[in-house]
Structure 1
Amino acid sequence: MKTYAAVLLTLSLLTSACGGGSSGSTNPTPTEPNDDVFTVERLWRDAGFGLAAADEVVDNVYIAMDYVYDDKGANTNGLPGGDSSYPSGEPYFGNAADIVEIRLGHQPGSDSLWFGSRLNTVQNPTVAVVAIGIDDGSSPEIYNDWPFAAGVKAKGVRYVLTLRGTTATLTDLKTSQSQDFYAENYNDTGETARNLENTLSVEIPMAALGLKREQMPPEWRIYAVSGLWNGSQWSTPPFDVAFYEDDFTNWQQNKQADLLAGGDISEANAHVHFSEFPNRRSPVRTGQQARIYPSPISKIIGEGITEWKQGIQGLEIPTLNHYRGLYLPYSVWIPESLGEASTPQALFLFLHGASQNHLDMLNAFESGTVNVPAYTIAPLGAGELSFYKEEGEIDVLSAMQDFMTHYPIDADRVFLSGLSMGGQGTFSIATHWPELFAGAIPFIGTGQSTFNEDIPIDEIGNEKIPEQRWMNSTGRELLENAHNLPWRMQNGMLDPIVNPTWPAQDVMRMQELGNDYQWALFHTETHNVNASYQNALYHQVLNGCQSAEIPGCVLSRDPNGLRRDTNPARVIYKIIPFHFTERLGLRYEGAYWVSGMEVKETPSDGSFGLVDATSFALAHKLKTGRETLGPDPLVIFEPTLGSYQFQGVRHLNNEEQTSPRLEARLENLSAITFDMARAGLTQNESREVIINTDTETQVTFKNLKAGTAVYYPDKDPMLVNDSGFISFTVPASQGEMYRVELE
């Protein structure tokens, strides 16, 4: 199986072979971490929890994480948010002074402290400046301007540490004295030092802060701002402020912008309680939260905000922004009941529509209209109009992986959903990665692969795939891959953007393939998601409407909810190499217990390879039965009194007799691997594998017991070695099956 962890590993290995996108870096040579000696490596060794606008203490390091892409500066025109702008192009890329983290480290018994900042985009480490203010409680009357024309001040701040390039200046605002220190600036690091990427750090003697060894104060208030440096002072007012919680709109910087407009940042501070060292966990929060995570591909694609040019009908057209930061954001909804959850819970992904971002998606959760007892995340998708292709797809999967790393998630109850463009992204991602999800739930979406063009009804199964397409989905051409992935869809009959004939064609293709699907088409809805129906549908797939009395939720449609089957009896998987993104290491080579698929010939963009394999050792899980639901032309939806037409097909488990046999039909494949353990074929008894292929194929069995004898037609038998792998060539069938026996 090609697990998502394997995808991240592939991306990680690929990044180590690629250069970064930065210039002007003069990295110090990192030393080996030593717990007895506090160094820059120790300051940045441990990753933060990832909750934005929150802080924690990890092994004597205070860590505060900020929002990303909130570096819009002051509000000077009266409209919501900041209106500062960077110089165009390199090295700024619209994100050159975006604070990700502020850190403060102190080893008990040492005579120094370490301060550090991390920025999201650093193309040239000499252009940005970060100032950290320290209120040590000694001078509450001080209210002085910060040095080097920073343009801000804060009550009680006595010391200001100004970091830029390889210099850090500590200024005492009470005495006006200053000292320079060497700053360690890491940029464009190698793979083994990515934890240091885009960091600027300095060691400050305690004596310079009026402290003696073992004389740490009970607490400090600290402040931080960032901006641009012209070589001798700030060249602009600050672009970003740390330690300031903001609303879930407009990149979470509206309040910050108003604060910067006045120049007084006294409200934006963090309490550092040294009594909490060496460890204090990040706060447990419920409701809507913001998280950030380190992108696994930033070293490949570079950093900053750029135009995202996409191929549309043969033309390269800019389509809003491509967010390439070292860190990327996503929004999170945590119900109050799950605030302290320790047992695995379900997770919903909710992908945004065109021209939206991750901050637009959770209002119905805030209002209580959607009240499902599960976690929900809304990824950025690397852009407002990415259609969840390439970097957008990786962002969705990476955000999912990040959340599952930090929260207790039941991996067999992860549901992919989205609206409009996010609904189309649901089609694309779910058909590429069906083994990751328990269900796919596109709202006002479609699997249409052409650009706003209807497909004649009699050609749906043989849809022509246009060259250089980008917009819309790639899902319909891969619906074979959804054999084990139930689809639950909602559209509007009056939708002026997603023509209802398009999802109707998706449904016809699902019917042709015998897939498990349900489709509700609301009679009077346009291009909008009925949040009450979203709530009902989420409850339906979660537990069959059993968590509470949910208006509009129909128990009989999924009586027990949906769960992923990691080892289904039958695997159908189709790959189209045109979908691959080799520069990102993004390939689709199988699902469940099938992997290593390689297409033999690709004469056109639509060329594909396909496997249809059944393990009769798992025949008790074969879903050969079908229950037809509807069609019902008029269903009244109780919460809104609206109406919809409904139809569907649900797979039923027939509990067939098992036998130690695997049958596989291959099309246009040069290689394929079967995991015999996951297919249930590791017994000591005799087993049979029957293969029908239209071209010569290299077949590999893995996870076999060492010493297993493999018998081929007209060949001497071979024994499986300690690796558990064995490979052999299967000729084109030419009407005859290729039989392999294992004993």
Structure 2
Amino acid sequence: MTEYHDHDKSGQSNIRGTLSRRRLLQTAVAGGLLGIGVSGPLTEPAAASSRTGPKPGPNVLYEPPATAPQFENSPPWRAEPLLVAGTEGYSKGEYQYQDYVYDDYGANTTETAEPPQPAPNDASAYGDNGVMSGDVVYPTDAETYRHNAADLLEFRATTEGDSLRYRVTLNTMTQSGIAAAAIGIDTGGTTGTDEWGYGLGTLGDLSLDHVVVTWGDGAELDGEPVDSQADLARNQIDVMVPLTPDEETWRHYLVVGLFDPAKKSFVPVQELPDETHPGGAHESSPPPVFNVGFRFDEPVGAPNIDRETGEEQLEEATETGSRGIGYGHWRDHAQATALAARDISEFYADIDFAKVKTNVEERRLPETGFQTRLYSSHYDIGSGVDAENDILRGRVQQYGLYVPKSYDSETPTPIHLHLHSLGSTYSEYATLSPNLLRQLGEQRDSLILTPHGRGPAGWYLNEAELDVFEAWGDVRSRYTIDSDHVTLGGYSMGAFGTFRLGGQYPDLFARAFAVSGGAFEAESYEGSTPQYLDGFRNLPLRMWNGGADKLVPAPVFTATEERLRELGYRHELGVFPEYDHFTFAFRDEWGPARDFLGDATVPMHPTRVVYPLVPEYDAEQFGLVHDGAYWVSDATVAADAQSGRIDARSRAFGEAPPIEADYEREGTEPTPHVKRGTVWKDPIANPPAENALDLTLDGVSEVTVWVEDAGIDPSQAVRVTVDSTHSVEVTLATANKRTVVSFEAGESEKEATI
């Protein structure tokens, strides 16, 4: 039994004849593209380099990295940002610390598993599988505070003459004076205090010799005014203090909270927020702190999961230090616990000013394992958190990346995209299913990328879809990626995203793996439609679903499988009778999926291309237009149609359709289950090759076929047979020529010369 194969035409020119619709749109929305800067490998997919048509996927996937204003420098600051959260380093005469973003939830003030309220924690978008650990929420004046005003992004220190100079960068800053950073300094002497002042109280046995507080355009050192300036365009605060460390090592602590300049005090946390006060005290007295710096070991884990039974034990959450299913989803657990205890003594940076003065280059970045990486979006769509729509709007976004121990920058490495579930985050698998990273990543020598999707509930539409490709593009710019070996998967909402992205961008992926999901149109599954399944013609799919799943019940996944079987596509559905929606994640065994994904190769020149056109889910403002794949592009839905479908076959390869064989059998791994699916076998005999194309079009008014990629010889006449519901213009394109052939609705055949 063999799988039907595609055709490699490596060596063909990649010169484009004209701009594709996607490229035209990218140009049209160039006003949203900001701060381009080149960095890293920027590997080119072989699948793209052997094509004459458009590259697979949206153009933003191939853009060089952007630079958000928060990462811009002005004298004396020169060092490049670290871009890995929870890390530090020395570069160009500066000490640097890179914090996480959207981790500003303050102290853990309640044992409940519910996320803090109000937004950005919309209860409908957050489940037990993705709660933050902190409970402090911003004032209700969303326009000013953006639910993110005290979110530390970066800290820097340098020396200038006889003074120390600090730069604090926040993720969001709408105006100076509403948030402040307090820097505690222990110079190593025998005296000192634990009292910070400014309404902070004590935060552990810290023995502070100096306290610097800056609220933007104002600052004090030990109660005396010092120079400070806020750069609202860059969200940066620059403060100069008359301290001389020489070449000593001084210990630093750092906290950020909301501030009242008139009272020179951090704003206390109330029971409930109002327009100017944060809330979430829950009858306690938490420190008025949202974010703590120098957290180099923010933990993730799920001690309240029984891996044998695949069940969560929420009643034991408080005993295990987790109030939901696992902790560390938003990388704030250690911070929340320490603030609840009013003890941040474990979070410090010992800044060696000898290294600063001698320009030591020492960037302490992880080489392998799971890491939280930051990137700058090419699009400015606002700042802070859009609570009503559950969207993280800032220019700086984060994603999770697992790097296997075998990674070598000299050798292209496969990558697997695994999308997170509803209510969860980019750290879902590091937290809940670490064995997934081992089996699908480490054991396959593959990177694993989990985009954040700009929040927990984006369903991989619009901004969330953009985030997938911007995060992926960032990985491409910094790692050597083997784009011939890319696979796709996801859990729950991520599984629905797998059907969507797999169906709309099939030429990017070799195989797909969807867990607890389907392609089914219902109000509960935003943006889902069985039309996506049409695009899986050349993308083999494995589905795992639970027979006891109430969130994605049997009618959803059986209808999905039945449609795949009707289409005759390669797929397999495994139904695990006793599993509910979360059992796969909790049992955390993925061996068969590892073997299925394997080292499969992205097909480049398939004999037949089937593609669904669903313009309802295009996002032209981000250049996300789904108009074709492989050797079909620039398709347009007819004016009186809501959607369209392309079924294009090249006869140039001289291959008969594969023989479709359905099966149903029992499976044993990872536990007993029933599986059914379809495989392809080689045809008994193949027809002679012809310089001909067959197009079956439903609701299509325009389409382009890149004839060389379809195996057609452009120097010879091409026979084009069309069966269309609408009159249509078919463009036959090569690297440098185009011929437009018009067809009326119905069946017709024409011979064309290019």
TM range (shorter): 0.7 to 0.9
Over 3 Å counting, the alpha-carbon distance change for 1:476 and 1:141 in structure 2 is: same
Over 3 Å counting, the alpha-carbon distance change for 1:386 and 1:520 in structure 2 is: same
Alpha-carbon distance in structure 1 between the residues aligned to 2:513 and 2:154: 35
Report if aligned partners of 1:151, 1:238 keep a CA contact under 8 Å in 2.
Answer: no
The one-character-per-residue Cα deviations of 1:375-394 (angstroms, maximum 9, x if unpaired) are 32333333333333222222
2:647 pairs with 1:635: no
Equivalent residue in structure 1 for 2:192, among 137, 142, 166: 142
The one-character-per-residue Cα deviations of 1:315-368 (angstroms, maximum 9, x if unpaired) are xxxxxx333333333333344x33666522332222233333333323565358
Aligned to 2:720: 690
Over 3 Å counting, the alpha-carbon distance change for 1:522 and 1:415 in structure 2 is: same
Q: CA deviation at 1:289?
A: 2.8
The one-character-per-residue Cα deviations of 1:422-480 (angstroms, maximum 9, x if unpaired) are 222211221122122211211121101124xxxxxxxxxxxxxxxxxx73552411211
Aligned to 2:247: 217
Q: What SS does structure 2 have at the residue aligned with 1:480?
A: helix
Equivalent residue in structure 1 for 2:528, among 443, 466, 474: 474
Indicate the structure whose relative CO is greater, using CA pairs within 8 Å and at least 6 residues apart. 2
Matched residue type, 1:612? D
Aligned to 1:554: none
Over 3 Å counting, the alpha-carbon distance change for 1:71 and 1:686 in structure 2 is: same
2:700 pairs with 1:669: yes
Report if aligned partners of 1:596, 1:673 keep a CA contact under 8 Å in 2.
Answer: yes
The one-character-per-residue Cα deviations of 1:687-718 (angstroms, maximum 9, x if unpaired) are 526262554445545552xxxxxxxxxxxxxx
The one-character-per-residue Cα deviations of 1:253-300 (angstroms, maximum 9, x if unpaired) are 232123234545332122444537353344224443323333444x22
Over 3 Å counting, the alpha-carbon distance change for 1:222 and 1:659 in structure 2 is: farther
Alpha-carbon distance in structure 2 between the residues aligned to 1:306 and 1:285: 35
Matched residue type, 2:543? M
Over 3 Å counting, the alpha-carbon distance change for 1:257 and 1:405 in structure 2 is: same
Relative to the length of structure 2, the TM-score reads 0.73
Equivalent residue in structure 2 for 1:542, among 570, 589, 597: 597
Aligned to 1:193: none
Over 3 Å counting, the alpha-carbon distance change for 1:186 and 1:567 in structure 2 is: farther
Alignment of structure 1 residues 445-464 onto 2, 5 Å: 445-451=517-523
Alpha-carbon distance in structure 1 between the residues aligned to 2:588 and 2:195: 54
Report if aligned partners of 2:163, 2:243 keep a CA contact under 8 Å in 1.
Answer: no
Alpha-carbon distance in structure 2 between the residues aligned to 1:691 and 1:105: 70
Report if aligned partners of 1:123, 1:303 keep a CA contact under 8 Å in 2.
Answer: no
The alignment covers a number of residue pairs equal to 622
Alignment of structure 1 residues 138-287 onto 2, 5 Å: 139=189, 141-143=191-193, 145-146=195-196, 148-151=198-201, 155=206, 157-167=208-218, 169=219, 171=221, 173=222, 177-181=224-228, 183-187=229-233, 196=234, 199-202=235-238, 204=240, 208-210=242-244, 217=247, 219-232=249-262, 233=264, 234-236=266-268, 237-244=288-295, 245-248=297-300, 249-250=327-328, 251-273=330-352, 274-275=354-355, 277=359, 279-287=361-369
Report if aligned partners of 1:289, 1:333 keep a CA contact under 8 Å in 2.
Answer: yes
Alignment of structure 1 residues 481-500 onto 2, 5 Å: 481-500=535-554
Aligned to 1:566: 604
Alpha-carbon distance in structure 1 between the residues aligned to 2:613 and 2:505: 11
Over 3 Å counting, the alpha-carbon distance change for 1:521 and 1:178 in structure 2 is: same
2:419 pairs with 1:419: no
Report if aligned partners of 1:730, 1:738 keep a CA contact under 8 Å in 2.
Answer: no
5+ unaligned residues in a row in structure 1: which ranges? 18-32, 188-195, 309-320, 452-469, 544-560, 705-723
Report if aligned partners of 1:121, 1:304 keep a CA contact under 8 Å in 2.
Answer: no
Q: CA deviation at 1:99?
A: 1.0
Alpha-carbon distance in structure 1 between the residues aligned to 2:230 and 2:579: 58
Equivalent residue in structure 2 for 1:349, among 394, 399, 417: 417
Alpha-carbon distance in structure 1 between the residues aligned to 2:520 and 2:371: 33
Identical aligned pairs, as a percentage?
26
Over 3 Å counting, the alpha-carbon distance change for 1:117 and 1:700 in structure 2 is: farther
Matched residue type, 2:514? P
Alignment of structure 1 residues 211-610 onto 2, 5 Å: 217=247, 219-232=249-262, 233=264, 234-236=266-268, 237-244=288-295, 245-248=297-300, 249-250=327-328, 251-273=330-352, 274-275=354-355, 277=359, 279-297=361-379, 299-308=380-389, 321-335=390-404, 337-338=405-406, 342-363=410-431, 365-366=433-434, 371-372=439-440, 373=443, 374-451=446-523, 471-472=525-526, 474-530=528-584, 535-543=590-598, 561-602=599-640, 607-610=642-645
The Cα RMSD (Å) is 3.8
Alpha-carbon distance in structure 2 between the residues aligned to 1:304 and 1:11: 27
Aligned to 2:48: none
Report if aligned partners of 2:174, 2:232 keep a CA contact under 8 Å in 1.
Answer: no
Q: What SS does structure 2 have at the residue aligned with 1:346?
A: strand
Equivalent residue in structure 2 for 1:101, among 147, 150, 154: 154
Over 3 Å counting, the alpha-carbon distance change for 1:626 and 1:219 in structure 2 is: farther
The one-character-per-residue Cα deviations of 1:300-326 (angstroms, maximum 9, x if unpaired) are 254324033xxxxxxxxxxxx333333
Q: CA deviation at 1:601?
A: 1.3
Relative to the length of structure 1, the TM-score reads 0.74
The one-character-per-residue Cα deviations of 1:401-422 (angstroms, maximum 9, x if unpaired) are 3333333332222222122222
Q: CA deviation at 1:53?
A: 0.6
Over 3 Å counting, the alpha-carbon distance change for 1:367 and 1:694 in structure 2 is: closer
Matched residue type, 1:449? E
Moved more, 570-579 or 727-736: 727-736
Report if aligned partners of 1:364, 1:370 keep a CA contact under 8 Å in 2.
Answer: no
Matched residue type, 2:748? E
Report if aligned partners of 1:114, 1:201 keep a CA contact under 8 Å in 2.
Answer: no
